[in-house]
Amino acid sequence: MPTQLYVSLQGDDCIRRFTLDAPTGKLAPLDPVAVPGGPAPMAVDPTGKFLHVGRRGVCEVSSFRIDPHTGDLIPIGTAPLDAEPCYLGMDRQGRFLFSAYYAAGKAAVHPINNDGAIGTPPIEWLDTATGAHALQTDPSNRFAFVPHIAGNGPNAIFQYRFDAPTGRLTPNTPARLTPPEPVGPRHFCFHPLRDIVYFSNEQGCSVTAYALNSAAGTLSAFQTVSTLPDDFDGDNTCAQIHMTPSGRMLFAPNRGHNSLACFTVDPNTGTLTPTDRIATEPVPRAFGIDPSGHFLYAAGLESGRLAAYHIDADSGTLYHLETYNVGSTPMWVTILSRP
């Protein structure tokens, strides 16, 4: 199957599909997939065989089988939810679907059925706090984290133990980590080679690097770096965060400054060095990096366009390639490559 790029369009009730040309990064449009009810967060299982999408307008999650030859999405199941999901993810074995609920202050774990579809009822429907924005397990699949933004949330990362056989979450010790400033941790990604986790800070307009204690499943911060230039004086918030598969570059978008903050990553210490801030489409909430680590695609929530960039392998900066019209209110960008 050629590399596929999927964009959920909450305003158009569909998922747009593109093939991605691996040598050039060029996108070719395919027929969209109708997904009524405001599709937003998406998650693909570790095998690349199934895609799940949260439908925020109707409070449901729908599951699709991904055709191994064409990348077509075949509906296989839908489950109702008690609230509107802002995030979906999967455990490392693909047996459970995670979800977070900003307004409801919840986090959930759903089983995955034998056919790959979401199962119901949820195994966990946890009270966390308002502003819950993500849920992922660490590479060992034994620990989980739920970040909460500041202002509308407690400005904290909740730390859990995850039981991979049952899908159960129990509070770790300590149960939460609170940054000293109201930075508002929102999304996070793991270093592919080191016990380090990077969080984008929504209100702090920054990225914080945390050392992960792989035995205890707890975090300790060792660096925070701004995503903004020193002379910026305006409203801004951060959103998603992604790292290249090599672990050499990291990116975080600025909503307000409307740019992509670029960082190189020290291979020995994991510390970040800002290298550039590239102007991009208005309100870059969602973006994705292709599996080769050569290309980045950023969606403008307000513009309805998708900007494609080449990632410089040495400097980590971005070079604009092309901009594509995708549709109304792009909420998530997922890129998948299967042999």
Flag whether the pTM goes above 0.95.
yes
- Per-residue pLDDT of 180-209, as tens digits, reads 999 999 999 999 999 999 999 999 999 999
Per-residue confidence (pLDDT) for residue 339, from 0 to 100: 59
Question: Following DSSP, what letter does each residue of 308-327 receive, concatenated?
Answer: EEEEPTTT--EEEEEEEE--
Q: At CB < 8 A and 24+ separation, what contacts does 325-328 make?
A: 326/7, 326/9, 326/16, 326/299, 327/7, 327/9, 327/11, 327/12, 327/14, 327/16, 327/32, 328/9, 328/10, 328/11, 328/12, 328/304
Alpha carbon distance 244, 188 (integer Å): 13
> Strand, helix or coil at 266?
coil
Asked if 151 contacts 102 with a C-beta cutoff of 8 angstroms, the reply is no
Q: Which residues of 281-304 are buried (b: 16+ CB within 10 A; e: fewer)?
A: bebbbbbbbbbbbbbbbbbbbebb
Asked if 150 contacts 182 with a C-beta cutoff of 8 angstroms, the reply is yes
Alpha carbon distance 108, 151 (integer Å): 23
Q: Where are the domains of the chain?
A: 35-178
pLDDT in tens for each of the 339 residues of the chain?
789 999 999 999 999 999 999 999 999 999 999 999 999 999 999 999 999 999 999 999 999 999 999 999 999 999 999 999 999 999 999 999 999 999 999 999 999 999 999 999 999 999 999 999 999 999 999 999 999 999 999 999 999 999 999 999 999 999 999 999 999 999 999 999 999 999 999 999 999 999 999 999 999 999 999 999 999 989 999 999 999 999 999 999 999 999 999 999 999 999 999 999 999 999 999 999 999 999 999 999 999 999 999 999 888 899 999 999 999 999 999 999 865
Asked if 5 contacts 44 with a C-beta cutoff of 8 angstroms, the reply is no
Domain 35-178 sits in CATH at 2.130.10.10
For the chain, give the number of residues. Answer: 339
Q: How many CB atoms lie within 10 A of CB 9?
A: 23
Per-residue confidence (pLDDT) for residue 2, from 0 to 100: 86
